[in-house]
Amino acid sequence: MQAPSNPSQRAQHRARSVTPDAYAAMGWIEEFSALARMAIDEDDDEALRRGYEDELLRRAAYLRAAGLFDVLEIRHPALRAMLDDAR
Q: What is the pLDDT along the chain (87 residues), one digit of tens a residue?
A: 455 555 555 555 554 555 567 777 788 899 999 999 998 887 888 999 899 999 999 999 989 998 999 999 999 999 999 999 988
d(CA 2, CA 8): 15
Neighbours of 40 (CB within 10 A): 16
Q: Has residue 1 been placed in a domain?
A: no
Instruction: Report if residue 17 sits inside a domain.
Output: no
Contact of 72 with 32, CB cutoff 8 Å: no
Enter the pTM of the model.
0.67
pLDDT score of 9:
54
Query: Which residues fall within 8 angstroms of residue 11, CB to CB, at 6 or more apart?
Result: none
pLDDT value at residue 2: 53
48 part of a folded domain: yes
pLDDT for res 42: 78
Range of the domain at 29: 24-85
Q: What pLDDT does 6 receive?
A: 55
The number of domains in the chain is: 1
